[in-house]
Structure 1
Amino acid sequence: MRSPPCQSCPNPPPSPLQRSRHSAKHMAGTTHRPSKPAKPPHAARRLALRLTTPLASLALLLFATAGVLLYSKTTPSSQIVARSNESGTTASPALSFPTVEAIGGARAIWELPAAPARAVLFVAHGCRCRPENFWPPSPRCPGCVGLPEDVALTAGALRRGFAVLAVASAGECWSLGHEVGGAKRAIQSWTAKNGLGDLPVAALGASSGGYFVSRLAAEMSFAAVVIMISEGAFGPAGAPAGYPPAMFLHMPKDRRRVALLERNMKMLRSSGVEVRELRSLELPLTPTLLSDRIPELDHGLSERIWKIFSEEGFIDERGYMRKDGRATPWKDAVAKRGFWEEVSRWSDHIQEELNLAYGYHEMTSLQADEMFNWIEKHLT
């Protein structure tokens, strides 16, 4: 089998490659607050009179300022409104409050929603990717990268009341042997430690993470699994009894993978497993697509990049990418125009969106609402 194209991920810290023949490398909302009882009419007048004194006014001003600062420091990412655009889920929140720690010897990042959690979502990254992609940089996680599609999924999960856990693979890609048991123990210990042990757990994995999640679902009880840009790994025995409902979210431009997906979906259905298929299609590259989907990337810069794509013939007359983003020499073209320095800090983010626009093999949040609606249906 040919290796799938890697996702647009920064290189992870050096680690030994997995050489097991079972390695997955080859598979490549507004919350309503209860209203307070109304104050009697005279209470407002008394308050107004008291605020006429300079000291009272100053005290009120200081109190209000402190409240704004406190809110800005404590509002979790699930409550920060993202920019919207016609392409779907969009720019990620500016703030986040994840926790970075080791769980069972593996590096992990997790975050709890603002309200009590209603479920847990385990996310598994792809080859040459890492948990840091799912959260934007913050004081709690200065090493976080915050790739736009990944963060949009995390933020969406948090808004819907999911506690989100991401664990790093031991190597470049996930292996399908001892790491399966390790992830199972990590999820169980983490949920127990944080008082989440009685909640339903769902899992999402992309590419190598999709193979991993499909295998992990055979070893532990999940409410549902989402296998993204991957046909899954089931082995000759197929799906065991009790296998959870499975969603395959894929990009049909990858025709070879479509054939494998159809085979596995048929197998699962014949075993009595509920299966759902979602297709993520290519997108036209518009002047503001990059700034619409990447937090803090300036509209003007997005338009300049688009102009290069148009002038260099990287997009057709309708705006669609002619080649996969990985095979498009856009970085050289930007450097030739003399503004690579402005673009370089966003290069991984831009690469992810270019891959998404081509619609072949990339993490996607375009169908996030459909995906989460489907998961929520299986939580009870």
Structure 2
Amino acid sequence: MATETRRRDLTPPRVMSLVPNSSPSPLYPASQIQMSGTTRRPGKPPPPSHAAKRLALRLTTPLASLALLLCAAAGVLLYSKTIPASQIVGRSKESSTASTAPSSPTVESIEGARAIWELPAAPARGVLFVAHGCRCRPENFWPPSQRCPGCVGLPEDVAITARALRRRFAVLAVASAGDCRSLGKEVGAAKRAIQSWTAKNGLGGLPVVALGASSGGYFVSRLAAKMSLAAVVMMISEGVFDPAGAPPGYPPSLFLHMPKDYKTAALVGRNVKMLRSNGVEARELQSLELPLTPTLLSDRIPGLDHGLSERIWKVFSEEGFVDERGYMRKDGRATPWKNAVVKRGFWEEVSQWAKHIQEELNLAYGYHEMTSLQNDEMLNWIEEHLK
């Protein structure tokens, strides 16, 4: 993925499996660093005023109720005509990955590489190219469906795709040639794939944005030096740059990282300064840890029910995997949660969600994981740079 000096990031070291027959995580093992975090709980809505109560009593007559229903129906009809349905569905859960997921992907080979893509319901305003990390794949960004039965649909990945589609971005993901991406010929191949795909689908005149996570972040940082991009997003990655710095015309750059990964955070800070000194707009976003609650998993993983989420949370509480505030004591990859579930006797129910749960546990700990927590802030920044 990176140069010889960054081989630690090219091929992550193996993590000793904590559960029999479990596959190693595609992300780095975490250092055991404790960090504090804060959360805000929404306050309760104020009680209705006396005037509101009197008004409610007056609306209990049949005639008044009928009038109220007609007004409400008219309001819904008017609202549905002014806002696309894709933006209405799931709006109450904008902060959750359980909102409306993409459902119409196309799987095909582009320039000899396996690719998955989807167009938004409304005319596209831009193209989002997403580059996965080591030992990951495009299928993580779409849920299983008739059009993509092999898709995995990891919650954070799908949330990024879904939000981008709702914001009218055409989304394209191309598989790496190996476990990790190379930074030589593969960069040129990705450029050709993007150009041929946009031309074929009538998107050739639209601005292109590239987003890459982990090794994908290194990849898109190099891609941005080889083709015209409106913006580039490096997630949990500091990018790879030539010693001379960024080349002329390098696009605005956003680094979305987790500060608990202090080595990457320090390198991100260094590269932000370098880019700015080269006249490139550069911004830094941080994704912090969050507490594990009884419904966090069901709130963020579509299809996982509240009851199962609560049972898993109870295991974490009883085993001491979380502290008194609910924060993970260790990285999800270093927490023997699978063994604990097996011991409780309900692993069969959990096994189909193991990869999804693992991603959310890593996210909760806040160390080197895909994150959709800053989706809106990230996409707002991207939209500011569309030409």
Partner of 2:196: 189
Counterparts in 2 of 1:101 and 1:368: CA distance versus 1, 3 Å: same
- Cα displacement (A) at 1:6: 9.0
One of 165, 170, 178 as aligned partner of 1:171: 178
CA contact (8 A) 1:205 1:226 kept: yes
CA contact (8 A) 1:126 1:209 kept: yes
Unaligned runs of 5+ in 1: 13-24, 26-74
Does residue 1:84 correspond to 2:103, yes or no?
A: no
One of 149, 158, 176 as aligned partner of 2:165: 158
RMSD of equivalent CA atoms: 2.1
Partner of 2:353: 346
Q: Which amino acid is the alignment partner of residue 230 of structure 1?
A: S
Counterparts in 2 of 1:125 and 1:119: CA distance versus 1, 3 Å: same
Question: What TM-score comes out, normalization by structure 2 length?
Answer: 0.78
Partner of 2:344: 337
CA contact (8 A) 1:5 1:361 kept: no
Partner of 1:149: 156
SS of structure 2 residue aligned to 1:277: strand
SS of structure 1 residue aligned to 2:93: coil
Does residue 1:228 correspond to 2:249, yes or no?
A: no
SS of structure 1 residue aligned to 2:226: coil
CA contact (8 A) 1:133 1:144 kept: yes
Identity %: 79
CA contact (8 A) 2:160 2:372 kept: yes
Partners in 1 of 2:274 and 2:86 — Cα distance?
A: 39
Q: Which amino acid is the alignment partner of residue 287 of structure 2?
A: S
Does residue 1:110 correspond to 2:117, yes or no?
A: yes
Partner of 1:202: 209
1:216-255 aligned at under 5 Å gives the runs 216-255=223-262
SS of structure 1 residue aligned to 2:206: coil
Counterparts in 2 of 1:92 and 1:84: CA distance versus 1, 3 Å: closer
Q: Which amino acid is the alignment partner of residue 346 of structure 1?
A: W
CA contact (8 A) 1:11 1:128 kept: no
Counterparts in 2 of 1:11 and 1:158: CA distance versus 1, 3 Å: farther
SS of structure 2 residue aligned to 1:102: strand
Partners in 1 of 2:86 and 2:242 — Cα distance?
A: 39
**Deviation per residue, 1:267-313 (Å, 9 max, x gap):** 10000000111000000000000000000101000000000000101
Partners in 2 of 1:115 and 1:323 — Cα distance?
A: 43
Partners in 2 of 1:213 and 1:165 — Cα distance?
A: 13
SS of structure 1 residue aligned to 2:129: strand
- Cα displacement (A) at 1:83: 6.5
Partner of 1:97: 104
- Cα displacement (A) at 1:84: 2.2
SS of structure 2 residue aligned to 1:326: helix
Partners in 1 of 2:260 and 2:230 — Cα distance?
A: 29
1:18-97 aligned at under 5 Å gives the runs 80-81=89-90, 84=93, 88-93=95-100, 96-97=103-104
Does residue 1:304 correspond to 2:316, yes or no?
A: no
SS of structure 1 residue aligned to 2:229: coil
The count of residues paired between Structure 1 and Structure 2 equals 315
Q: Which amino acid is the alignment partner of residue 299 of structure 1?
A: H
CA contact (8 A) 2:100 2:162 kept: yes
Does residue 1:363 correspond to 2:374, yes or no?
A: no
Partners in 2 of 1:164 and 1:115 — Cα distance?
A: 13
Question: What TM-score comes out, normalization by structure 1 length?
Answer: 0.79
Counterparts in 2 of 1:82 and 1:299: CA distance versus 1, 3 Å: farther
Q: Which amino acid is the alignment partner of residue 347 of structure 1?
A: A
CA contact (8 A) 1:89 1:368 kept: no
Partners in 2 of 1:77 and 1:99 — Cα distance?
A: 19
Partners in 2 of 1:83 and 1:228 — Cα distance?
A: 26
CA contact (8 A) 2:235 2:255 kept: yes
SS of structure 2 residue aligned to 1:217: helix
Partners in 2 of 1:305 and 1:376 — Cα distance?
A: 39
